[in-house]
Amino acid sequence: MLLGCIADDFTGASDLANTLARAGMATTQFVGVPPDASPDTCEAGVVALKTRSIPADEAVAQSLAALRWLRAQGCRQFLFKYCSTFDSTPAGNIGPVALALLDALNAPGAFVCPVFPATGRTLYMGHLFVGDRLLSESGMQRHPLTPMTDPDIRRWLGRQIEGEAGLVRHDAVRRGSAAIGEAWRDEVAAGRRLVVVDAITDDDLRAIGHAARGHALITGGSGIALGLPENFRAQGLLSGERLAFEPLLGPAAVLSGSCSSMSLRQVDDYRQDHPSLAVSPDALLSGTLTVETALAFARKHLADAPLIYSSADPDSVARAQAAHGRDRAAQAVEAFFGELAAQLIQAGVTRLAVGGGETSGAVVGALSLRQLAIGPEIDPGVPVLSACPALAGPQGIRLALKSGNFGTPDFYRKALRQMSHAAPHP
């Protein structure tokens, strides 16, 4: 293995694995820290953790365990992947994890670049934009778990770590990798180990990737990986082979737990002509709705690819959190979707599209998945995945694990179609 990656959630891991596979690296996504060695064919390994919203010290411990395993696989470089909207709180977890990884690698510093232009995430003067809006005006300020109320990534990191974060401005990025490297070294020499790097285009990201060719650690969204495979290719280290992937027919279902604005649009689009069942924390905690009743609904409509969703507007989410507590409400929904996914696979579902990072983590955990093969891209950042849970038949299942804000309004239709008619990587 050449490149070892640690992702703080499952949708983000798929996003990164998709980027690396499209750029020509034979990539495998692992669920949690594997107990065994990686396959010999794996050039980039992505360890998917569920550390985005847990206490910072637990996130650090799990990330260091993943790093130890990746180092044992012989990786030459490491990448810490987090969301392109920098999902975190002032208490962590991005800053503490990044510094812990730097310390473990005895590295002087690392880039911080959550940029993903294909989905509208850009960074200028250290401020993160979503489309033409600052992060704090994009809807992310109302995120139920990690509300992003400040678009200044240096300032946000400053709340998570001791000392200041640095900045490589866009004028240096525009001049290319040599200027980026010089600016980064100046920041690190000044004691700023985490250095935010402006980027607006994919070309910016490729230049940053080239500048990072000798770095032990890089941190960022999946876009930061655009330029990394070329560094290994230039050294003659890539095989040029892709891991095999096959589409799969069969019954399908959609589960959506994300409450992002795009997820709400996707749910509204899909439920126009598909049977749907709404889920709320009130119904789950009161016992009005159970996994058994949801499964009965799904079985009845299995031929029509039903949708089961807890996606709701911010006011409804706030009321549920006030009534039940944020953690209790979230845990009830996650447990419900995890158990329901397992029951759906047992009922014969072979294609499953899941919306939301926490929901995807619950589903992956409930299915006890260990490895995921990366298939073709559905929308930027979201590939089809192939997995073989014990609950499924010999052909396994096909999955889409979608971060809340990713995808077009018709994402779920495209996802289920792509699973059964997968095209090769471009």
- Does residue 153 contact residue 112 with C-beta atoms inside 8 Å? yes
Q: Measure the CA–CA gap between 316 and 322, rounded to whole angstroms.
A: 10
Cβ-based neighbours of 154, under 8 Å, separated by 6 or more = 126, 164, 165, 166, 167, 196
The answer, yes or no, to whether residue 423 has pLDDT greater than 60, is no
pLDDT at 151: 97
Burial category of 68 from C-beta neighbours within 10 Å (exposed 0-12, middle 13-18, buried 19 and up):
exposed
pLDDT digits (tens, 9 = 90+) for 346-399: 999 999 999 998 899 899 999 999 999 898 899 988 999 999 998 888 889 999
Lowest mean pLDDT among 98-112, 308-322, 328-342: 308-322
pLDDT at 348: 95
Domains 3-234 and 252-420 share a fold: no
β-pair type (307-309, 110-113):
unpaired
β partners of residue 124 = 127
Decide which of 3.90.1720.10, 3.20.20.140, 3.40.50.10840, 3.40.50.300 is the CATH code for 3-234.
3.40.50.10840
Q: Measure the CA–CA gap between 371 and 11, rounded to whole angstroms.
A: 14
- Domain segments of the chain: what residues? 3-234, 252-420
Report the chain's C-alpha Rg in angstroms.
Answer: 21
pLDDT digits (tens, 9 = 90+) for 218-247: 999 999 999 999 999 999 999 987 666 789
pLDDT digits (tens, 9 = 90+) for 180-198: 999 999 999 999 999 999 9
**Among all chains, which residue has been given the structure tokens 């009161």?**
286
CA angle 12, 258, 342 (to 5 degrees): 80
pLDDT digits (tens, 9 = 90+) for 49-96: 999 989 999 999 999 999 999 999 999 999 999 999 999 999 999 999
Read off the pLDDT of each residue in 45-51 and give the average, rounded to a whole number: 95
Percent of the chain with pLDDT over 90: 80
pLDDT at 244: 67
The answer, yes or no, to whether residue 318 has pLDDT greater than 90, is no
Read off the pLDDT of each residue in 280-300 and give the average, rounded to a whole number: 95
pLDDT at 425: 41
Q: Measure the CA–CA gap between 409 and 406, rounded to whole angstroms.
A: 9
Tell me the backbone φ, ψ of residue 25, rounded to 5 degrees: -100, 135
The pTM for the full model equals 0.83
pLDDT range class, residue 10, cuts 50, 70, 90: confident
**Among all chains, which residue has been given the structure tokens 């669920």?**
31
pLDDT at 424: 44
- Does residue 210 contact residue 231 with C-beta atoms inside 8 Å? yes
Structure tokens at 391: 């609950």
Q: List the CATH code of the domain at 252-420.
A: 3.40.980.20
**Among all chains, which residue has been given the structure tokens 């039903």?**
306
pLDDT at 390: 87
pLDDT at 240: 81
The answer, yes or no, to whether residue 426 has pLDDT greater than 70, is no
Read off the pLDDT of each residue in 154-168 and give the average, rounded to a whole number: 96
What's the mean pLDDT when you consider all of the chain? 93
pLDDT digits (tens, 9 = 90+) for 91-143: 999 999 999 999 999 999 999 999 999 889 999 999 999 999 999 999 899 88
The answer, yes or no, to whether residue 321 has pLDDT greater than 60, is yes
Read off the pLDDT of each residue in 254-283 and give the average, rounded to a whole number: 95
pLDDT range class, residue 210, cuts 50, 70, 90: very high
